[in-house]
Amino acid sequence: MEHSKSSLLSTLLSWVPEEMRIWLLFLIILTLIFFIVLFRQEIGRLLERLRNFHLSKNGFELVFEENIKQAKQQKRQNADLTGISKTGIRLEADYPNLSSRDLVLEAWVSLKQNIYDVVVAQKIQLTVATSPFEALGRLKSANIISADLYNHIKLLLVIGRLAADTTKIPSKRYAGSYHELVYDVLDWMMSNAFLIKVHKPSESFRKTQVGGDVFPSPSPGRPAARLIAISGPQKGHHYNLEKDIFTIGANSNNDLMIVGDNFVSGTHAQLRYSKGCIILSDKGSKNGTFLNGTKLNDVPMAVKTGDKIEIGNTIFELN
């Protein structure tokens, strides 16, 4: 077979004048380079599919578990995390209705939100485009956290992203370990008074003549208002409204992602800032959005301080 191919190539080249053969080979090489450049993106996508294919469930669990073991080792060697007081939010026992993956995502979302809160509390510059990793780096640069603690929290962010980027489910044991590791960090933040802070109403939070609230224009580090979960799976968590449009739902691209609640739609509801008002609207959710116990239907409603917003099994209070 090889001899046949060689004979065929020799026959083809014999048709080309000898002085032109080098140019023919050069043209073939250029053509190959052209097609490689032309299809490099497709080749990259193919390689990515192959990589994802080889990351089987067992492969995902192995990577996840190895990262958890590394994080535990970091915690043992980190003086900042020794002797911290516990908040009482511990392990999967506090979230019996969450799957292993949702348990990880719940902790991951909480960690990201609290990193941003610490950055804001320390009056460090923050923009809408700032990633959690960038925000964490700014805390390290400002000497708010040590290099060891920075590396530990960074690894926890990486582990959470690993779970968010796949539908594969980690084991209950290691999901619980991740949840505990994250809340040890949150305990440390609270113990150091980063999050326990009295938030006095802004002077811009003033009553109008008709009894409504005039909210300040939102911007990074200067929220128009805050949502505080007062019941349900998110209880105790708070979320700053730092954008003109703030979406809530089960999908990861929402500003507030609610996991483990089958009554929450992908993009469930939206809070929109407009000329001093905050408008609540339902985004076609399956189970509806409720304001002070009344279903919104298709009519957006202006909200005021103290209003209760019910989404799925969680009730938020606007503060």
Among 180, 176, 155, 166, residue whose Cα is nearest residue 58: 166
Strands (E), 123-254: 206-207, 213-214, 225-231, 238-241, 245-249
State mean pLDDT over 3-20.
60
pLDDT digits (tens, 9 = 90+) for 141-175: 988 888 999 999 999 999 988 887 777 788 888 99
pLDDT digits (tens, 9 = 90+) for 235-294: 888 899 988 899 999 998 899 999 888 999 999 999 988 777 788 989 889 999 999 998
Single-letter amino acid, residue 179: H
Single-letter amino acid, residue 274: S
pLDDT at res. 41: 60
Confidence tier at 308 by pLDDT (50, 70, 90): very high
State mean pLDDT over 131-147.
90
Q: Which residue has the tokens 């450049």?
A: 37
pLDDT at res. 233: 80
Angle at 286 between CA 283 and CA 288, to 5 degrees: 65
More confident residue, 163 or 309: 309
Q: Locate 214 and state its tokens.
A: 């005039």
Q: How far apart are CA 233 and CA 23, in angstroms?
A: 71
pTM comes to 0.51
